Amino acid sequence: MSDTQNIIQQTEKRSAHNYYPLPIVINSGNGAWVYDVEGKKYLDMLSAYSALNQGHLHPRIIARLIEQAQQLTLTSRAFYNDKMGQFLESICQLSGFEKALPMNTGSEAVETAIKAARKWGYLKKGIQENLGEIIVCNNNFAGRTVTIISFSTEDQYRLGFGPYTPGFKAIPFGDAKALEEAITPNTIGFLVEPIQGEGGVVVPPEGYLQEIREITRKHNLLLILDEVQTGLGRTGEMFAFQHEKITPDILILGKALGGGVYPVSVVLADNEIMDVFTPGDHGSTFGGNPLAAAVGIASIEVLIEENLPQRAMELGSYFMDKLININSPLVKEIRGKGLMIGVEIKEEYGTARPYCERLMQLGVLCKETHQQTIRFAPPLIITREDIDWALEKIKLVLDCK
């Protein structure tokens, strides 16, 4: 039995079966490339769902991680540390918001944003306690905590995990008119992804963000953007909302903020919203710890100084055009923005999973989402030569019925 088979067997024996990984065991990586335990090389075109925008083992991020780990890793928020303030200053300057609340994972940040919005609704908007509603979109994905799956419209995410947290209302994604029609006197805000990643890389119509921004302002609602996947350069701008030149009231970031080495997330808002929190309202043992803050600072520096959003825009346009030019009869639609691209397989040709498995065999790592869509989201440090190499393999797979 091979090392790969042994490790998979051991993992499956002891692990809860809450994932369905491709049958590969990775043990090292650098830049856009990884290696399995048999020594085979693969191009990573998933980036840990955009947590690796800066690539595997970016030397500046690793150096900062090691330097900080040798000095101080964790202090409770019972004390100040010398890195958190610098980190919050960096992310506030980058995003244009007045305050940031640091957490760890994207799900935690979404939960934090919901708490901030609800308290704002009760204290500042005057909605009666416990009656506030937040509007979300069908096909959303923000994590898998009980509150988050409570506003999911995906049956599998919900089945067996009720009772559900109340206070949410779902509408079609990309439909600004549906948002206006769903608003009631108890509506606090609208929580939405600029592009639905896990939902199949679904891109809303042009102008959608501008429309929902106008509607939320008109009705004094908070526009809450979940940019855990789309933020930090992935779509060709530092933040996806910049494509339509708007600003949300609350911004949620995570994944690439940790540079692929540590879980770091934040919720950003101006004082009028963030000041609803008082000591004891919310917290996190690890949120804002010195190691996370040092890594976050380095991750932001790399994004800016290596101009990764611009790379995503240029290389994403190139990659998308080349994918379209394959003109495969298997493909229903190719959609995306920057280096966040989905290739939807026609149902008569089966699900996307077998195509991802074939690409893995050829050295290209990607993953299916929502059954029919192959998701390509490589590290933003990927080169045109890497993309051309991958396109040869993709063409072989998509030309094969």
Task: For 24-53, give the DSSP string.
Answer: --EEEEEBTEEEETT--EEEESSHHHHTTT
Crossing angle (nearest 10°) for helices 384-398 and 353-361: 120
pLDDT under 50: residue ranges of the chain? none
How many CA atoms within 13 Å lie on the side-chain side of 218?
10
The DSSP output letter for 189 is E
Exposed/middle/buried for residue 106 (C-beta within 10 Å: 0-12, 13-18, 19+): buried
In order of 61, 62, 74, the CA distances from 70 in angstroms are 14, 12, 11
In order of 130, 231, 286, 292, the CA distances from 289 in angstroms are 33, 22, 5, 5
In order of 84, 282, 307, 313, 381, the CA distances from 54 in angstroms are 21, 30, 11, 15, 6
Q: Read off the pTM.
A: 0.98
Distance between CA atoms of residues 260 and 26, nearest Å:
15
Cite the active site residues.
141, 226, 255
Cβ contacts of residue 13 below 8 Å, gap of 6+?
A: none
Q: Report the chain's terminal Cα–Cα distance, integer Å.
A: 32
Structure confidence at residue 399 (pLDDT): 87
Query: Which amino acid type is present at position 381?
Result: I
Structure confidence at residue 401 (pLDDT): 53
Spell out the alpha helix ranges (H) of 183-338. 208-218, 271-274, 290-305, 308-326
In order of 144, 236, 287, 328, 370, the CA distances from 156 in angstroms are 11, 32, 30, 31, 11
**Tokens 């290596």 belong to which residue?**
306
Copy the structure tokens of residue 179: 């948002």
Cβ contacts of residue 201 below 8 Å, gap of 6+?
A: 195, 335, 336, 340, 341, 342, 369, 373, 375
Distance between CA atoms of residues 111 and 96, nearest Å:
22
Torsion angles phi and psi, residue 252, rounded to 5: -115, 125
CA 215 to chain centre: 25
Distance between CA atoms of residues 315 and 301, nearest Å:
21
How many CB atoms are closer than 10 A to CB 148? 22
**Tokens 């997330």 belong to which residue?**
265
Distance between CA atoms of residues 133 and 200, nearest Å:
26
pLDDT tens-digit profile of 368-388? Answer: 999 999 999 999 999 999 999
- All domains of the chain, ordered by start, with CATH? 3-54+307-398 (3.90.1150.10), 59-305 (3.40.640.10)
Residues 315/300, Cβ–Cβ less than 8 Å: no
